[in-house]
Chains A and B, each alone.
Chain A
Amino acid sequence: MNTRSRQLRLKRQILFGSTASVVLIAFYLVGQRTNWLAASPIVCGGWRENHFIKGKTYKSLKQQGARPYFCIREIIRPYSKSMADIWGGVSIYDERGETYVETQFFVAEGFGKEKFTDEPGDWMIHHHKRFNQLGIERESRSQQIASWFDPMMDRRTAYELWRTMKIDVSPRSSGRQISWVRQVNEQFPELALLGFSAFFCFGVYKRLYGTASQMRIGQCELRESRSSENLLAELALLIMLLLGWSVFRWTDWLSHTPFQCSTYRSRQLSPVSLTRVCFHEVLATPSQYNQTTVLGASIHTPQQVLRADIQFYIADGKNKLGFKDEPGDWAFLSSKHFHPGTGLLMASTNKTVSSWFDAGVPSDVQLQLWTDVRDKLVPRLKARRVSIPRKLSAVLESFAALAGASILAIMTFIKLVDLMVSDMDDN
């Protein structure tokens, strides 16, 4: 290839690299650090004098002469029949600006055998972001805050929000309704892998059909041998990435070392069976705000290995409302079932499942386990403990665009230097 066409190719690569880099950085900044690309509201609510009014949008409420207090924008997890909860993304408006909360609403009514009904206004905020008047992020925190501790609005409006979620949104939520920014962020690892595969296939196609005609006959053999070496190296890299990805997603081989394991014997089953429960991660520590804890745990039975994020409800009555949770009350936030011998994934779900619906263990073990968590484990939990695979997934979801932009930027920088240096050498 002559110098001029090489320089042209470098210029094209620099132009593509810098443009893609800027676009990705802009996407990260606007998508993660502002509310400019927030999903359009499903329903909004506000007050006109003493009347609570609902509207389709923030503007329509204003036009009706009401002051908007909240807009429900996303259904992050639809209504779960096995938990009677729904997870929503809600914008809350006050004098200081907007707070966006990702909240789990407990909306049970006559649920299960016990005909359990949740307290009106009962919810748990899992993550919140505060924005200033321009919609730029001021603060972002992943902390569980129960509505009985701080609903982030007055009690009257909080009750109306909970009621809107229960009556208007839950029955109509057949699936998730999330913003396209969240959709892209959640799918970024898959998109990156797909992009890399497409890039690889394009490279193979170009080597096979694209460059042969441009080569001079004398260079042909040398170029071909170098090109096949590169091809093999790239193929090895692609296979390694695919293998790593498969192990990461569909096996139990990279599980985090447990920090506590206990074996329980059930008297309800005959022959007597042993259930081994191990705790691997501390995802949310209990505090005065929530009196719950989320633990990454695995439950080993002869039939399967159940790996799940379990939220234990352990309110002991020493809180603002004197609220006390039922013994044995927990929920699986997400779970994966693995084969006990091979560690291969058999089934997985992101639906919340109450322990009253399916605890995954016999009921006497359920009670023993819950008591052990409340009395022995929780007093010792002082900090979060998160596994590397989960950290990596979180990084990929939150910073994929920024990381992609940085890698593209450094590659473009190399091309730029190459171009400038070849100019210097020519002169």
Chain B
Amino acid sequence: MAMGFLVYAIKNSQVVIKKVVVILATQRVASIGIYLGMLQYTLLWIFPSYQAKVLLFGLVLWGIRIPYFVRIRESAVVSESVFMFCADLLGVFLNLEGADEAVKECLAIFGS
């Protein structure tokens, strides 16, 4: 089943990509992206030790809101999404090795 779908997808890659983009470029998907973005922002404060993972989740959200705004030619929102994507990406890289260290640093500063 999965293999069959994979073969179909490769053969008709352009059609598949177009179908996916058509689905993504709708207001409903953009709205989901925006509301989940609010949730992600809150999660950052609730679970600071999982910052890298929450930011990774955020990368996807910034990605899925882009198609709709490209479609309606709202270039400022597209630019904002790209900027936030880059900022989240930097956050992920900074936190990959630093998250555990940050916790240890806090313990060292405020005492255990």
Contact = CB atoms under 8 A, between A and B. Distances in A.
Given A395-B93, A407-B86, A407-B89, A418 B70 contact: yes
A414 B78 contact: yes
A417 B101 contact: no
A415 B63 CA distance: 13
Interface residues of B, number: 27
Interface stretch (B2-10, B19-27, B32-40, B43-51): B19-27
Contacts of A403: 89-90, 93
Interface stretch (A238-246, A355-363, A383-391): A383-391
B28 interface: no
Given A391-B94, A395-B94, A407-B89, A414 B70 contact: yes
A420 B22 contact: yes
Contacts of A386: 98, 101
Contacts of B98: 386, 391
B17 A416 contact: yes
A385 B93 contact: no
B67 interface: yes
A384 B85 contact: no
B82 interface: yes
A134 interface: no
Contacts of A411: 82
Given A407-B86, A410-B63, A414-B82, A421 B25 contact: yes
Given A406-B89, A414-B70, A418-B70, A424 B105 contact: no
- Chain A binding surface, main DSSP class: helix
Contacts of B107: 382-383
A399 interface: yes
A423 interface: yes
Contacts of B24: 417
Interface string A386-413: 1000011011001100110011001101
Nearest to B98: A391
Interface in B61-77: 63, 66-67, 70-71
B93 to A, nearest CB: 5
- Chain B binding surface, main DSSP class: helix
Interface residues of A, number: 28
Nearest to B19: A420
A421 B18 CA distance: 9
B80 to A, nearest CB: 13
B99 to A, nearest CB: 12
B57 to A, nearest CB: 15
Given A391-B98, A395-B94, A413 B63 contact: yes
Contact of B108 (A382, A399, A423): A382
A392 to B, nearest CB: 8
Interface in A40-61: none
Contact of B71 (A384, A398, A402, A421): A421
B21 A417 contact: yes
A398 B94 CA distance: 11
B65 to A, nearest CB: 11
Contacts of B108: 380-383
Interface of A: 380-386, 391-392, 394-395, 398-399, 402-403, 406-407, 410-411, 413-414, 416-418, 420-421, 423-424
7 contacts: A384-B105, A385-B105, A386-B98, A414-B82, A417-B71, A421-B67, A421-B71
Interface of B: 17-18, 21-22, 24-25, 59, 63, 66-67, 70-71, 78, 82, 85-86, 89-90, 93-94, 97-98, 101, 104-105, 107-108
Given A420-B18, A424-B25, 6 more contacts: A382-B104, A383-B108, A384-B104, A407-B85, A416-B17, A417-B70
